[in-house]
C-alpha cells in the first residue's frame, strides 16, 4: 500500500520504457532548368495532414500557396491510387472531409495541384488498439520544402501485445525489419509479435544500466528523465544502438522498418527526433512529433495514474509523459559534446545524413 511519504518504487522490465538513463548522386546540369520545369518539380504544399475520424470519415487539410485548385484521389496503397474519380476538390488552402471510403488497412490520398508536383499522404496513426503509439514516422515537411516519405518507416511502443489481426495488418503493409530498442529483460518480459518473415534486430539503447530506482518527488522524476535523454546521446550503448538504427533507416533493403521501445516515447522518441533532424525537418515540427506521444498514450497513462493515490500519481506522472525539456536535454547534449548535429551523426553515430535524405525524402 502506498503512503504519502513512501517513495515510488519503479522496478523491472514492465516499466523500463519510462526509465531512460537507466536506460546515388544526382548528375550536374549544364545549365539551369527553365523556370516552368522547376515549378513542375516542386511540391507546393507548405502543410498537409490526413486524419481518420472515429466515424470512419477522413479529414484532409492542406495549404499550397500559389495553387488555385487541388484534386484529391484515394487508394488502399501508395501505388494503388485510383484516378478514375476524385474523392474531393478544393482550393489551394482547404480542409475537406471524405466519406464512404469503405474498409481498408490504410487509406492513401494523392493531392494533385494545378501546378507543381502531387503529394501522397495517409493518416500517420495505424490505429492499432493493441499499440496506440504505433505510427508512421514520415509525412513531415523539411525546411527546404521536401517531404519525409510515408509508408517506409514506423515508430511504436511494445509489440508484445499485438493481436493476430494487428500482426496480419503489419504483414500486409510490408513490415519486414523491426529494431527493438529495449533491454534484454524487457524483451524477455514481453517478446515482440512480428509478421512472418520480418527480421528482428536488437539495438539496446540502455545497455546494462539498471532500472530499479526510487524517486521521492515529481521534480526528481523529471530530473531522471532529463538525465536519461542525455544518456541516450552520450552513452556508448545509446550511440551504438542509434547508429545501427539510422544506418538501417538509410538502407532501402531494410524498408519497411519499425523501431520501438516499451512505451514508444523516450528511446523511440529520440530515434525519431534524430532521424527527422537529420532529414532537415524544423525543430518545432520535431518537437510536435515527440510530444504527440502524450496524445496517443493518453488513455493508457490515465489508466495507470488512476490506480495510484494522488501523491504517488504526481510523482509517477513525469515518467509517463514526454515533455519539451526532456527532448531539449537531448539536443543540448548533442551541442555540448559535438557542437553540431551533423557532427553527432558523423562522429557519434557513424552515419551519413546524405544517405538518410536520399532514402527518406521526396521532392
Q: Which residue has the higher pLDDT, 15 or 186?
A: 186
pLDDT value at position 208?
A: 81
* pTM of structure: 0.89
pLDDT at 333 over 90: yes
Torsion of CA 193, 198, 200, 205, to 10 degrees: -80
Sign, CA torsion 228/232/238/244: positive
Mean pLDDT of the chain: 90
Distance from C-alpha of 356 to C-alpha of 363, rounded to nearest angstrom: 14
pLDDT at 18 over 50: no
pLDDT value at position 210?
A: 57
- Return residue ranges of the chain for CATH 3.90.190.10: 126-363
Distance from C-alpha of 93 to C-alpha of 84, rounded to nearest angstrom: 24
pLDDT value at position 214?
A: 81
Of the pLDDT bands very low, low, confident and very high (cuts 50, 70, 90), residue 212 is low
Enter the C-alpha cell of residue 341.
548535429
pLDDT at 9 over 90: no
User: In terms of CATH architecture, what is 126-363?
Assistant: Alpha-Beta Complex (3.90)
- Return residue ranges of the chain for CATH 2.60.40.10: 39-123
Contact 271, 242 (CB under 8 A): yes
DSSP-assigned beta bridge partners for residue 110: 73, 120
Q: What is the mean pLDDT of residues 211-227?
A: 89
Q: How many CB atoms lie within 10 A of CB 141?
A: 20
Give 110-128 pLDDT, tens digit per residue: 999 999 999 999 999 999 9
pLDDT at 22 over 90: no
Q: What is the mean pLDDT of residues 286-297?
A: 98
Q: How many CB atoms lie within 10 A of CB 176?
A: 18
Enter the C-alpha cell of residue 261.
521501445
Active site members: 261
Nearest to 207 by CA among 184, 234, 230: 184
Nearest to 291 by CA among 327, 316, 261, 319: 327
Give 221-253 pLDDT, tens digit per residue: 999 999 999 999 999 999 999 999 999 999 999
3-12, 105-114, 244-253, 337-346: segment of lowest average pLDDT: 3-12
Q: What is the mean pLDDT of residues 34-44?
A: 57
Buried b (16+ CB within 10 A) or exposed e, 330-363: bbebbeeebeebeebbeebbebbbebbbebbbeb
**Percentage of the residues of the chain whose pLDDT score is greater than 90:** 86
Distance from C-alpha of 289 to C-alpha of 266, rounded to nearest angstrom: 12
Q: Which residue has the higher pLDDT, 185 or 13?
A: 185
| Domain spanning 39-123: CATH superfamily | Immunoglobulins (2.60.40.10)
Nearest to 139 by CA among 121, 159, 166, 117: 121
Amino acid at each position: 500500500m502506498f503512503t504519502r511519504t513512501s517513495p515510488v518504487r519503479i522496478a523491472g522490465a514492465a516499466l523500463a520504457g519510462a526509465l531512460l538513463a537507466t536506460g546515388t548522386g544526382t548528375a550536374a546540369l549544364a545549365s539551369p532548368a527553365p523556370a516552368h520545369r522547376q515549378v513542375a518539380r516542386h511540391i507546393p504544399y507548405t502543410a498537409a495532414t490526413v486524419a481518420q475520424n472515429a466515424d470512419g470519415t477522413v479529414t484532409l487539410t492542406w495549404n499550397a500557396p500559389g495553387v488555385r485548385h487541388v484534386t484529391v484521389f484515394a487508394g488502399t496503397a501508395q501505388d494503388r491510387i485510383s484516378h478514375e474519380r476524385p474523392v474531393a476538390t478544393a482550393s489551394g488552402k482547404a480542409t475537406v472531409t471524405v466519406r464512404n471510403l469503405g474498409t481498408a488497412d490504410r487509406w492513401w490520398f494523392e493531392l494533385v495541384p494545378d501546378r507543381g508536383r502531387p503529394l501522397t499522404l495517409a493518416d500517420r496513426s495505424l490505429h492499432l488498439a493493441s499499440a496506440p503509439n504505433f505510427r508512421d514516422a514520415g509525412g513531415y515537411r523539411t525546411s527546404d520544402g521536401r517531404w519525409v516519405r510515408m509508408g517506409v518507416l514506423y515508430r511504436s511502443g511494445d509489440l508484445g501485445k499485438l493481436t493476430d489481426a494487428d500482426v496480419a495488418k503489419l504483414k500486409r503493409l510490408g513490415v519486414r525489419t523491426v529494431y527493438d530498442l529495449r533491454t534484454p529483460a524487457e524483451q524477455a518480459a514481453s517478446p515482440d509479435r512480428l509478421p512472418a518473415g520480418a527480421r528482428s534486430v536488437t539495438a539496446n539503447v540502455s545497455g546494462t544500466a539498471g532500472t530499479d530506482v526510487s524517486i521521492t518527488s515529481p521534480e526528481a522524476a523529471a530530473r531522471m528523465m532529463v538525465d536519461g535523454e542525455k544518456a541516450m546521446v552520450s552513452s556508448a550503448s545509446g550511440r551504438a544502438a542509434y547508429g545501427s538504427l539510422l544506418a538501417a533507416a538509410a538502407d532501402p533493403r531494410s524498408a519497411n522498418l519499425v523501431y520501438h521501445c516499451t512505451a514508444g516515447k523516450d528511446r523511440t522518441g529520440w530515434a525519431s527526433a534524430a532521424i527527422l533532424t537529420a532529414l532537415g525537418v524544423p525543430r518545432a515540427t520535431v518537437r510536435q512529433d515527440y510530444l504527440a506521444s502524450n496524445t496517443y498514450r493518453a488513455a493508457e497513462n490515465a489508466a495507470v495514474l488512476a490506480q495510484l493515490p494522488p501523491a504517488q500519481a504526481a510523482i509517477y506522472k513525469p515518467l509517463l509523459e514526454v515533455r519539451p525539456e526532456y527532448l531539449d536535454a537531448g539536443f543540448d547534449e548533442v551541442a555540448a559534446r559535438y557542437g553540431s548535429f551533423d557532427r553527432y551523426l558523423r562522429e557519434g553515430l557513424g552515419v551519413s545524413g546524405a544517405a538518410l535524405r536520399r532514402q527518406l525524402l521526396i521532392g
